């Protein structure tokens, strides 16, 4: 006679500074599948968790930007390799979270992995696209070079649990920023699973930090945080994002708000959290 047993239910934790802590508040919340069945317990992040994540991202950002563009591309490409090896697991989570059939979930995962590869390819091309040599009168060279804003907060899309997360997170990373991402409140498990892959690949600690929890509770903290240099409000309603942008203005951070009725283009995301540095150099004799 076979023995009956209880399933080992996983509690999904935060990703902060390359480690997987529980929320400092000790809180967690239940996540249900699209059909309403219990799916997982997920850490309910607090404002202090966000502050810890921002501190980790700030410490990691200079080293990430000092790495060569080729190296940044290779690090991001490694994430695609990790996701490729766990496609079935990702597809299962997407299917349960979004309520789509197996074929659609597998297609979503395939597109997401292709998207990671696409962003990896931008690492050593962004300077040529967003930078340039400027005409000047005199014996000088004048160059405009894209530089990262610094620490970027991302409120990931609520509905697109994997594809949307990849777009909003990888765009600021590939241009040299570090990221604090607030995952989808109702569909966080695909994002957290991808975060686990990043931590066991070549991502330096603090490069990508993922906090799960209640969007309405946590987004004001990100918007007002003085050490956040930019914020993407993709996962917030347009009207709420407008109000949060006013809060973000207190610390003069870059803001990307969701476009009403249309999708934000990938190139706009790449441009959103990049500053321009102008360099002068004399012409050698």
* b/e sequence 37-64, b meaning 16+ C-beta within 10 Å: eebbebbbbbbebbbbbbbbbbebbeeb
> In this predicted structure, what is the pLDDT of residue 2?
58
Structural domain spans, the chain: 11-282
What ranges in the chain are assigned the alpha helix state H?
47-66, 69-85, 87-98, 102-122, 126-130, 163-174, 189-199, 215-224, 238-248, 266-272
Output phi, psi for 3, to 5 deg: -85, 140
> In this predicted structure, what is the pLDDT of residue 262?
64
Where the chain has pLDDT below 70, the residues are: 1-2, 260-263, 284-285
Q: Is 179 helix (H, G, I), strand (E, B) or coil?
A: strand
Determine the CATH number of domain 11-282: 3.40.605.10
Distant-in-sequence, close-in-space partners of 225: CB < 8 Å, separation ≥ 6 = 50, 51, 54, 153, 251
> In this predicted structure, what is the pLDDT of residue 37?
87
> In this predicted structure, what is the pLDDT of residue 168?
94
Residue that the structure tokens 């990373």 belong to: 173
pTM > 0.85: yes
What ranges in 175-233 are assigned the alpha helix state H?
189-199, 215-224
The number of CA neighbours under 13 Å toward the Cβ of 231 is 29
């Amino acid at each position: 006679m076979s023995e009956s047993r209880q399933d080992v239910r996983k509690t999904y934790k935060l990703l902060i500074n390359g480690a997987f802590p529980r929320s400092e508040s000790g809180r967690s919340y239940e996540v249900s599948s699209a059909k309403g069945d219990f799916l997982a317990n997920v850490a309910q992040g607090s404002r202090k968790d966000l502050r810890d994540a921002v501190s980790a991202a700030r410490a990691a950002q200079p080293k990430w930007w000092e790495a060569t563009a080729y190296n940044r591309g290779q690090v991001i490409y490694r994430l695609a390799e990790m996701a490729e090896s766990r496609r079935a697991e990702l597809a299962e989570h997407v299917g349960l979270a979004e309520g789509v059939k197996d074929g659609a979930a597998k297609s979503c995962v395939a597109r997401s992995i292709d998207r990671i590869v696409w962003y990896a390819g931008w690492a050593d091309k962004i300077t040529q696209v967003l930078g340039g040599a400027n005409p000047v009168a005199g014996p000088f060279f004048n160059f405009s070079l894209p530089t990262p804003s610094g620490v970027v907060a991302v409120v990931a899309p609520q509905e697109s649990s994997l594809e949307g997360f990849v777009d909003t997170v990888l765009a600021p990373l590939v241009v040299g920023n570090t990221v604090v991402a607030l995952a989808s409140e109702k569909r966080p498990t695909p994002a957290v699973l991808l975060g686990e892959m990043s931590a066991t690949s070549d991502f330096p600690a603090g490069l990508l930090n993922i906090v799960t929890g209640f969007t309405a509770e946590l987004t004001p903290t990100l918007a007002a945080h003085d050490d956040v240099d930019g914020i993407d409000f993709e996962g917030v309603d347009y009207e709420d994002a407008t109000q949060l942008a006013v809060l973000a203005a207190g610390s003069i951070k870059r803001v990307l708000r969701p476009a009403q009725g249309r999708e934000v283009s990938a190139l706009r995301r790449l441009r959103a959290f990049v500053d321009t540095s102008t360099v002068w150099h004399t012409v050698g004799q």
